[in-house]
A and B are shown apart, each in its own frame.
Chain A
Amino acid sequence: MALLQITEPGQAVDPHQRKHAAGIDLGTTNSLIAAVRAGETDTLPDFGGAHLLPSVVRYHTDGSVTVGAKALESAKEDPLNTIVSVKRLMGRGLEDVDTLGDQMPYDFVTKDKKGMPDINVASGPVSPVEVSAEILRNLAHRGEATLAGPLDGVVITVPAYFDDAQRQATKDAATLAHLNVLRLLNEPTAAAVAYGLDSGTEGVIAVYDLGGGTFDISLLRLNRGVFEVLSTGGNSALGGDDFDRAVASWLLAASGIEGEISKGQFRGLMLEARAIKEALSDQASVKVDIDLDGLIVKSEITREIFDELVAPFVGDSIKACRRAVRDAGVGLEDIKHVVLVGGSTRVPTVRAKVASYFHTEPLSNIDPDRVVAIGAAIQANILVGNKSDDEVLLLDVLPLSLGLETMGGLVEKVITRNTAIPVAKAQEFTTYKDGQTAMLIHIVQGERELVSDCRSLAQFELRGIPPMVAGAAKIQVMFQVDADGILSVSAKELSTGVETHIEVKPSYGLTEDEITTMLKASFEYAEADVATRSLTEAKVDTQRVIDAVANAIALDGDRLLSQQERSSLNETLAEVQAIATNSERASEITAASERLAKASDEFASRRMDDSVRQALAGTSLDELSESIADAED
């Protein structure tokens, strides 16, 4: 780590210009926020010194909310209003919730049994997205207090295995918490960033991430400052909670308890099971003797018994590893390092099984609970524009295949798993009836052949197709997956060039309208803020555009703009800057910002072309110097 920062004269970064960025690990059990401060990256503690924020939200009758350790304490006494493991509900439907069984003792409500269910709490129904937003808001406040200023941008991590609906739900939660998301980063990639930058590793790295509720395995290659995700796999419903549940069931059986137990008793039992699991990491056995509201649980559990109880879950994780290694097209001998992430990797049998499968002792010198947030903070700091050297580029892949429903409930894959993103694919459709003007398209995600075995992402209704004889219309539907792994769709009728209208009905997400309503509701919470906040947001957003354009002119204006173009763009820039500084009307500022974006469009396009040319020129030079170096060897 650099002790002294030496900067060229004239290049010194104005300390007021330094932007505040943070990495957020939004976990099933615990969440964290981390930031780079004075060259050091670490997680940020709350006022009491705790780094981990339990991902628990309690709703009170008066509409107020408690988040974190305090809420967790109340889990036993107020289980229905205290939401734990909300991450498992993100982008999920009622049928998924049913498979989670006892773990989710809440009162779920859905509109016509479809979509992501709301949870009925003391103050009314809340969406899992809103619950997650409370956690994000809490962390953001911590970050703003520590960094002494508003956050310019955050990187939020998600399991690599998260599908589109789950990613979108996470982004929606950030929107509700008023956070500017620079990137959704896969958790394993974040962990590798944390290790990769510190140790300068080159080669294939496996990241084994066993958290409370999700398991991820990712294989990454680090090559010349580029992190390339070779493959990802895992199970979005496998984690340390399963260990706890296995221990809890064993305890009930060993104590001869049968039949129903109350929700409160179940919670207490699960907390006890978790404590036992943690104790067994350094003890050979643990004695249990507890009284849960009259339910007496008395027994002794050894590490051998525990290892046996969790073996099926660990075995499932190793199977997923085997698949990921195969998908990556590498051999076990190519894997240089294994990185451990997630609290559940502290369990000795997990470490042993991982070491034995990969034939290498896994790395764990960064706290497995914090490593993801730390990696996210490093990346957030780069993306917000604070750092130009040591840059790491993260190339991600699509975690699950995207497909369309065809006749007979079968899936036709449009983009296959592990394709490098961003990616786009066009697919052509035609009408099957004369004069047909609309068509329903169902998008699913998953690897199986039947629609019913895959995850429904969205239904798209194409409308406004010009009436023609059957089979004459050619509708091209474009599927675009961005760098965050989120899908967007557009459509066009090719023979007439008519853009068809698309109505998106996300199967498990929130519609734009619902998000707007929720945002408004959160505004009403502090009504006085509304005008101020939208004005501040317009100013911040516009300043971002102004800075970007000004910076681009300073860098490339000489080469890529004519004298006249340059002065005209500078003029617009000055006008917009004046409006952004002086205006008190959000709409006026936004309009000015759009004008500047339009005026700089051609320049942006030239810069991109220039970048591409330079990239390739750079390659040839690099290769030249490499081949010289090779010759000298």
Chain B
Amino acid sequence: MDFQQTFFEIFQLPEAYHLDVDQLSSSYLELQKRIHPDNFSSATDTEKRHSLQWATHVNEAFTTLKSPLQRAIYMLEQRGLSIAHNPDLEPAFLMSQIELREELDDISETASEEIDAALSRLDGFKSSVKETLSSLEGSFAVQFDVELAAAEQTTYKMQFMNKLLVAADQLEEQLLDY
């Protein structure tokens, strides 16, 4: 069993940030069809164990590659870079983060009066965060090949934007009274 393969190799994908999500998904499904523990319900314990290990490994590889942020972190780690817990970021970016957080708070505060307006503002907020994220992903793809340090910075920014999206989702959940 070869656990030394990179996650890209497992799915026979080129080692590049931009990937064909359909191909990733179909390779994933084909692999699971073969190795999933359900195929080994009546097999020996050894086969069951191998199957569990492989299916677990393939799930991890798939989950990592499917997420643009996890994929970026994984690629950096492959190059020997580990992600910092408290990264230094440009003051301008941090300022814009604070502003975005304030906007989110503002949406939350106005929600009690105009719930529909707040929800539609939140929709707008989320799509603009998503746009920023996709442009960061574009930058990462270019930077990764030419300037690793810049790619690392971009990854931190992606982390921030992702957290913002999670916060926006949580707010939406509150507003919709889950």
Contact = CB atoms under 8 A, between A and B. Distances in A.
B60 A423 contact: yes
Contacts of A225: 33
A622 B38 contact: no
A605 interface: yes
Contacts of B145: none
A428 B41 CA distance: 32
A609 B1 contact: yes
B34 A611 contact: yes
Given A424-B60, A548-B47, A597-B46, A482 B37 contact: yes
Interface string A601-615: 100110111011011
A351 B122 CA distance: 32
A297 interface: no
A605 B54 CA distance: 11
| Chief secondary structure at chain B's binding surface | helix
B56 A597 contact: no
A393 B36 contact: yes
Interface stretch (A356-364, A414-422, A435-443, A526-534): A414-422
B165 interface: no
A419 B38 contact: no
A3 interface: no
A544 B56 CA distance: 25
Of B31, B34, B44, B51, most buried by chain A (CB within 10 Å of CB) is B44
Given A422-B37, A482-B37, A611-B35, A601 B46 contact: yes
B44 A226 contact: no
30 contacts: A183-B38, A226-B29, A226-B32, A319-B178, A323-B178, A326-B169, A419-B59, A421-B59, A422-B37, A422-B52, A422-B55, A423-B60, A480-B56, A483-B36, A483-B37, A544-B42, A547-B42, A548-B44, A600-B46, A601-B46, A604-B46, A608-B47, A611-B35, A612-B34, A615-B30, A615-B31, A616-B31, A619-B12, A619-B30, A622-B30
Of A422, A601, A605, A609, most buried by chain B (CB within 10 Å of CB) is A422
A223 interface: yes
A549 interface: yes
Interface string A300-337: 00000000000000000001001100100000000000
B87 to A, nearest CB: 21
Interface residues on A, range: 35 or more
A323 B173 contact: yes
5 tightest A-B CB contacts, nearest first: A383-B41, A611-B34, A615-B34, A483-B37, A182-B41
Contact of A616 (B30, B36, B52): B30
Given A319-B177, A395-B32, A422 B59 contact: yes
Interface in B1-54: 1-2, 11-12, 23, 26-27, 29-39, 41-47, 50-52, 54
Given A383-B42, A615-B31, A619-B27, 12 more contacts: A153-B42, A182-B42, A183-B41, A319-B178, A323-B173, A384-B41, A419-B63, A480-B56, A609-B2, A612-B54, A614-B34, A615-B30
A622 B26 CA distance: 10
Contact of A548 (B23, B43, B63): B43
A385 interface: yes
Given A420-B62, A423-B59, A618-B30, A483 B38 contact: yes
A56 B29 CA distance: 41
B176 interface: yes
B166 to A, nearest CB: 11
Contact of A223 (B29, B42, B52, B55): B29
B112 to A, nearest CB: 20
Given A319-B177, A482-B52, A549 B44 contact: yes
Interface in B126-144: none
Contacts of A422: 37, 52, 55-56, 59
A326 B1 CA distance: 37
Nearest to A181: B41
A607 B38 CA distance: 16
Contact of B55 (A384, A483, A604): A483
Nearest to A226: B29
Contacts of B36: 393, 395, 483
A198 interface: no
A410 interface: no
A612 B44 contact: no
Contacts of A133: none
A545 interface: yes
A536 B55 CA distance: 32
Nearest to A609: B1
A219 B88 CA distance: 41
B73 to A, nearest CB: 15
Contacts of B52: 422, 480, 482-483
B33 A623 contact: no
Nearest to A602: B46
B56 A424 contact: yes
A596 B177 CA distance: 58
B44 A597 contact: yes
Contacts of A615: 27, 30-31, 33-35
Nearest to B12: A616
A608 B1 contact: yes
A326 to B, nearest CB: 8
A224 interface: yes
Contacts of A421: 59
A395 B56 CA distance: 12
Contacts of A424: 56, 60
A597 B45 contact: yes
Given A153-B41, A383-B42, A548-B43, A423 B56 contact: yes
A394 interface: yes
Nearest to B54: A608
